[in-house]
Amino acid sequence: MAETIFTKIIDRDIPADIIYEDDEVLAFNDINPQAPTHFLVIPKKPIATINDIAAEDAELIGKMYLAAASIAKEMGFEQNGYRAVMNCNPDGGQTVYHIHLHVLAGKAMGWPPYQDALKQDLP
Ligand code: 5GP
């Protein structure tokens, strides 16, 4: 897999506002926040997309959610709530090909998440 900007963040080759780290997972604030709180939880293991998650990665993916929930509790927004979302490939809006869980909080999120949602567009 080609190296991404997130590998450089893991390796401390470029700076990031890191808010959580353990042996397998790293979390840092998004450089272009889409909510009052917006951070990314990534595995240190480079996995390009959701489609590339192997069965052996199941526990690692669970640890990403555990980290997200732990940070939410620490930051105090776990009861108000938040959105945790992973984009996949172009239609999903993925731009960095190292999986990451977006965690957005601090305001009520809309649904559906896309602006041009019209019932007639749906199958
Ligand atoms: P995607 O579009 O792949 O779902 O999300 C990639 C996210 O990474 C975007 O929200 C973008 O703002 C964030 N991002 C891209 N480059 C950097 C960077 O160098 N530092 C940080 N902290 N976030 C980044």
In this predicted model, what pLDDT tens digit does every residue of 81-116 receive, in sequence order? Answer: 999 999 999 999 999 999 999 999 999 999 988 776
Ligand 1: nearest atom to the Cα of 92: 4
In this predicted model, what pLDDT tens digit does every residue of 52-81 receive, in sequence order? Answer: 999 999 999 999 999 999 999 999 999 999
Atom 18 in ligand 1: residue holding the nearest Cα: 31
CA dihedral 46, 31, 71, 75 (to 10 degrees): 180
Q: Which residues 6+ apart lie within 8 Å of 38 measured at CB?
A: 29, 30, 102, 103, 104, 105
pTM for this model (two decimals): 0.94
Give CA–CA dist 28/30, Å, rounded.
6
Which domains does the chain possess?
5-120 (3.30.428.10)
Q: What distance in angstroms lies between residue 123's CA and the mean position of ligand 1's atoms?
A: 31
In this predicted model, what pLDDT tens digit does every residue of 18-48 receive, in sequence order? Answer: 999 999 999 999 999 999 999 999 999 999 9
CB–CB of 87/75 below 8 Å?
A: no
Written as one string, the DSSP assignment of 61-120 is HHHHHHHHHHHHHHHT-TTT-EEEE---HHHHT--SSS--EEEEESSPPPSSSSTT--GG
Which tokens hold the place of 103? 């965690």
* Tokens 């990534």 found at: 42
Which of 28, 40, 103 for mutating ligand 1's site (highest number of atoms within 8 Å of CB)? 40
Give CA–CA dist 9/11, Å, rounded.
5
Which of 4, 5, 101 for mutating ligand 1's site (highest number of atoms within 8 Å of CB)? 5
CB–CB of 107/36 below 8 Å?
A: yes
Catalytic residues, which ones?
A: 100
- What's the pLDDT at 2? 77
